[in-house]
Chain A
Amino acid sequence: MISDIYSKSNEIISKPEVRNLIRKKLIDYNIGLPLWKYIFMAIFYSFKIDKEAASKILLMVGPPIAEVDPSKIQSLFYEIASLDENKFEELSEWYSKLMLDSGFHFSVTGFLGLMQHK
């Protein structure tokens, strides 16, 4: 059975005031942007190395949220991967800001934690 251990933390982390404070601290302590910049760069390199394999990573995060079209996301990553590697840093920074502002990182952080553990 699915344990209830993460339900409580998910419930608390879903509260807007909690999310706002997390966002503020991630920015104030200069953790959020460098972390996500690093991860985005790794994702862009993955698409550069093996487009097909890297696309599966997007599926692994689970069913996408309703307003996100997975094929559009995939095309976007294909497009970025076709760019010169020296563009990755700038684009990663831009996407990291978007990630933090939209709060989307709350959906994928647990998954990334396990991935790095492996």
Chain B
Amino acid sequence: MAEKEKNPSQLTELENHYVDLYVINCAALYHILRIKYNGPKDIAKKIFIKTARSKIKMAENYLFSYGYRNPPAILSPTELNKMPKRDLGKPHGLSDNEMYLRPAIITQILQELEQYEVYHNVKGKKELRRKKEQDQKNQISSANDQAVDLQPT
């Protein structure tokens, strides 16, 4: 059965940790934006417009968001190259058979995102098989948990 909403004072230590982490990150972001840039107009030019005009930066930010928002899954660089094309490709006027970026560049981006621990590189068939099995087990276990959660009391 779905958990009843807790009162803020009933939050666990881990939940309180994430609350503080989120608030601290927001404070740090605001502080950095204030000290590093000369006001919102400067941020617009140096971050937003600069990023929007670069296909590589766009793909990098898009793939960061994608990995950040989605649950663990095994995807090939080619599959990950298709996603920005599906969602960002149109404004660049790409044809159907064109890739969003050259595979070598997508690999470079993914290597960079590994530093933020958004993605992990799975090397070799053995490791890939092991990860896939683990992934399937996790999915089954999560489905079972949800099924138990939906049982009437």
Decide if B152 is an interface residue (CB 8 Å cutoff).
Answer: no
Q: Number of contacts between A and B (CB, 8 Å)? A: 191
The docked-state distance in angstroms from the alpha carbon of A88 to that of B66 is 30
The docked-state distance in angstroms from the alpha carbon of A35 to that of B32 is 11
Q: How many residues of A contact B (CB 8 A)?
A: 59
What residues of A have a CB within 8 angstroms of the CB of B53 in the complex? 50, 53
CB pair A63–B87 under 8 Å, yes or no, is yes
Instruction: Kindly identify which residue among B8, B45, B66, B75 contacts A49, using a CB–CB cutoff of 8 Å.
Output: B45
How distant is A87 from chain B, measured CB to nearest CB, in Å? 13
Decide if B49 is an interface residue (CB 8 Å cutoff).
Answer: yes
The docked-state distance in angstroms from the alpha carbon of A43 to that of B44 is 6
B 1-43 binary contact with A (CB < 8 Å = 1; else 0): 0000111101100111011111101110110111010001101
Interface residues of chain A, those whose CB is within 8 Å of chain B, are: 1-7, 9-10, 12-13, 15-18, 20-22, 24-26, 29, 31-32, 34-35, 38-39, 41-46, 48-50, 52-57, 59-63, 88, 107, 109-116, 118
